[in-house]
């Protein structure tokens, strides 16, 4: 088609024009679509950023909330009443009946457990983790003590008895099963301080490759109510965890003194600790691989409940060493020392009446130190005599001051 007059487009030009226009529009459309995509992408990015910031705001708000929350009061569970209330004792003393949060696990909130309580309502909102760190309680845990029976002098009969009632159930439990008897659950060593009770317990542990756990009774009696019972429970848990183990409770009389109703809260606390100890012993498998050895030098004040069958039902008396025993203990403690020929162990034993194994050890060490001080090559009788005078003199003084104290308190 040709243009019929000037200004008008011919048919070819017009179709070219239209094609160009279409192309232009397509390009513009393409450009717009790209922009739209970019804008949509940016929109998504801003949306994500907004969500991120909102989350951050929420986190910071809850952090502020946490910082604003008042501290919790620590208390000890005394008793669970029902699924809503329990009796707790605050560390300051008084007992309260309080509600507890639904999310508190009843298995964890057992009597003796430590809990966190709201300041105003005293509602229990948290159960605190139990600290089973032995050092906290002044416990001594030795995987395998380096003491053996040969290092103990003058206690052959007692060693024999301990081997029978503590070592054998650990090393050959099948013998007891075969015969159908139960070994004693616990044994009680009675003797003055320094007569070798701890050594004996350590030697059995070492012999049976058992962990030796020592705890002192007075450490178990705590200032805070309910703490002692909790510690006893955790102590037995520890012994089971470390099994085979020997649990040695020194100064038993501090927790197991005969019950006297003096009505003080301290006295009741001691009783609670003792009740927990009895409960632990009663719920304990006598053929299991945990053995309990108690030690005391005051058997006269022990609660008879403790000595009932099935508890500490074997008592082994650790005597103060006689002449022969003292000679043997001197031999053990001087075995690595260079002695002069004039040192006569029989003579030393005769000079040290009424001393304990610990005193004899102290005398031997003192004599050795004196020889070092005097720059001698060997330890002679005069060093021993000097050491005996010094150590036995100290003993005399502590005996006198104990007597004076007795007069003071009489
Ligand atoms: P405590 O009641 O004060 O705990 P204990 O009766 O447990 O005293 P041990 O700790 O066993 O006494 O003894 C203290 C130290 O005395 C031991 O490390 C050991 O060196 C020495 N000793 C005591 N008795 C004997 C003994 N029979 N033979 C050899 N050494 C002994």
What's the pLDDT tens digit per position in 91-115?
A: 677 889 999 888 888 888 888 788 8
Mutate to test the pocket of ligand 1, among 194, 206, 297 (most ligand atoms within 8 A of CB): 194
On average, the pLDDT of the chain sits at: 84
Express each pLDDT in 136-153 by its tens digit.
556 778 887 889 999 999
What is the CA 132 to chain-centroid distance, rounded? 4
Whole-structure pTM value: 0.66
Closest C-alpha to ligand 1, atom 2: 193
Alpha carbon of 189 to ligand 1 centroid (Å): 12
C-beta separation of 353 from 370 below 8 A: no
Alpha carbon of 152 to ligand 1 centroid (Å): 8
> Is the pLDDT at 19 greater than 90, yes or no?
yes
What is the CA 174 to chain-centroid distance, rounded? 31
Alpha helices in 242-376, H assignment, sequence order? 253-256, 265-282, 323-334, 345-351, 357-373
Alpha carbon of 399 to ligand 1 centroid (Å): 19
Closest C-alpha to ligand 1, atom 10: 198
Token representation of residue 88: 């707790």
Instruction: Calculate mean pLDDT across residues 152-176.
Output: 89
What pLDDT does residue 82 have? 87
Closest C-alpha to ligand 1, atom 29: 152
Closest C-alpha to ligand 1, atom 19: 358
Nearest to 312 by CA among 223, 184, 124: 184
Token representation of residue 116: 């966190």
Nearest to 395 by CA among 360, 359, 353, 351: 359
Ligand 1 atom showing the smallest separation from residue 191 Cα: 6
Question: Cα torsion for 315, 320, 323, 325, to the nearest 10°?
Answer: 60
Express each pLDDT in 27-55 by its tens digit.
999 999 999 999 999 999 999 999 999 99
Is residue 398 very low, low, confident or very high in pLDDT (cuts 50, 70, 90)? low
> Is the pLDDT at 218 greater than 60, yes or no?
yes
Mutate to test the pocket of ligand 1, among 145, 195, 201, 363 (most ligand atoms within 8 A of CB): 195
What pLDDT does residue 259 have? 58
Instruction: Calculate mean pLDDT across residues 266-273.
Output: 72
What pLDDT does residue 127 have? 87
Nearest to 306 by CA among 204, 218, 185, 162: 185
Task: Tell me phi and psi for residue 36, to 5 degrees.
Answer: -60, -45
Ligand 1 proximal residues by C-beta, below 6 Å: 152-155, 191, 193-199, 250, 295, 329, 332, 357-358, 361
* Sign of the dihedral defined by the CA atoms of residues 242, 243, 249, 255, in that order: positive
C-beta separation of 211 from 143 below 8 A: yes
Ligand 1 atom showing the smallest separation from residue 151 Cα: 29
Alpha carbon of 193 to ligand 1 centroid (Å): 7
158 or 134, higher pLDDT: 158
Alpha carbon of 165 to ligand 1 centroid (Å): 21
What pLDDT does residue 399 have? 47
> Is the pLDDT at 397 greater than 60, yes or no?
no
3-state SS class at 183: coil
Mean pLDDT is lowest, of 222-226, 270-274, 374-378, for 222-226
Q: How many of the other CB atoms lie within 10 Å of CB of 36?
A: 10
3-state SS class at 236: helix
Closest C-alpha to ligand 1, atom 22: 357
DSSP category for residue 210? P
Instruction: Calculate mean pLDDT across residues 116-136.
Output: 75
End-to-end, the C-alpha distance of the chain in Å comes to 142
Instruction: Extract the runs of DSSP E, i.e. beta strands, from 217-326.
Output: 245-250, 290-296, 312-317
> Is the pLDDT at 408 greater than 50, yes or no?
no
141 exposed, middle or buried (CB, 10 Å; 0-12, 13-18, 19+)? middle
350 or 9, higher pLDDT: 350
Mean pLDDT is lowest, of 46-60, 164-178, 217-231, 363-377, for 217-231
């Amino acid at each position: 088609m040709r243009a019929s007059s000037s200004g008008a487009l011919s048919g070819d030009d017009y179709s070219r024009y239209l094609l160009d226009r279409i192309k232009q529009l397509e390009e513009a459309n393409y450009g717009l679509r790209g922009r739209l995509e970019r804008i949509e992408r940016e929109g998504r990015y801003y949306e994500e950023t907004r969500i991120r910031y909102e989350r951050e705001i929420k986190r910071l708000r809850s952090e502020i909330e946490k910082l604003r929350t008042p501290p919790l009061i620590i208390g000890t569970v005394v008793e669970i009443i029902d699924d809503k209330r329990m009796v707790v004792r605050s560390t300051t003393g008084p007992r309260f009946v309080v509600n507890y949060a639904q999310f508190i696990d009843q298995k964890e909130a057992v009597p003796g457990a430590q809990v966190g309580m709201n300041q105003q309502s005293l509602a229990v909102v948290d159960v605190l983790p139990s600290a089973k760190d032995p050092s906290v309680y002044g416990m001594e845990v030795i995987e395998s003590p380096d003491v053996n029976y040969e290092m103990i002098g003058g206690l052959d009969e007692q060693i024999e008895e301990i081997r029978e009632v503590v070592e054998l159930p650990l090393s050959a439990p099948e013998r007891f099963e075969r015969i159908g008897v139960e070994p004693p659950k616990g044994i009680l060593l009675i003797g003055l301080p320094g007569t070798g009770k701890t050594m004996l317990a350590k030697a059995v542990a070492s012999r049976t490759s058992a962990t030796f756990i020592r705890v002192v009774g007075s450490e178990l009696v705590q200032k805070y109510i309910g703490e002692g019972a909790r510690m006893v429970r955790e102590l037995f848990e520890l012994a089971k965890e470390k099994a085979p183990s020997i649990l040695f409770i020194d100064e038993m009389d501090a927790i197991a003194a005969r019950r006297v109703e003096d009505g003080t809260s301290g006295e009741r606390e001691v009783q609670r600790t003792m009740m927990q100890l009895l409960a632990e012993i009663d719920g304990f498998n006598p053929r299991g691989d945990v053995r309990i050895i108690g030690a005391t030098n005051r058997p006269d004040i022990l609660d008879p409940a403790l000595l009932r069958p099935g508890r500490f039902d074997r008592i082994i008396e650790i005597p103060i060493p006689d002449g022969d025993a003292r000679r043997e203990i001197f031999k053990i403690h001087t075995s690595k020392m260079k002695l002069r020929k004039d040192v006569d162990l029989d003579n030393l034993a005769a000079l040290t009446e009424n001393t304990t194994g610990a005193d004899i050890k102290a005398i031997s060490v003192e004599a050795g130190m004196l020889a070092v001080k005097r720059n001698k090559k060997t330890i002679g009788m005069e060093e021993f005599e000097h050491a005996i005078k010094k150590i036995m003199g100290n003993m005399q003084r502590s005996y006198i001051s104990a007597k004076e104290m007795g007069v003071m308190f009489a």
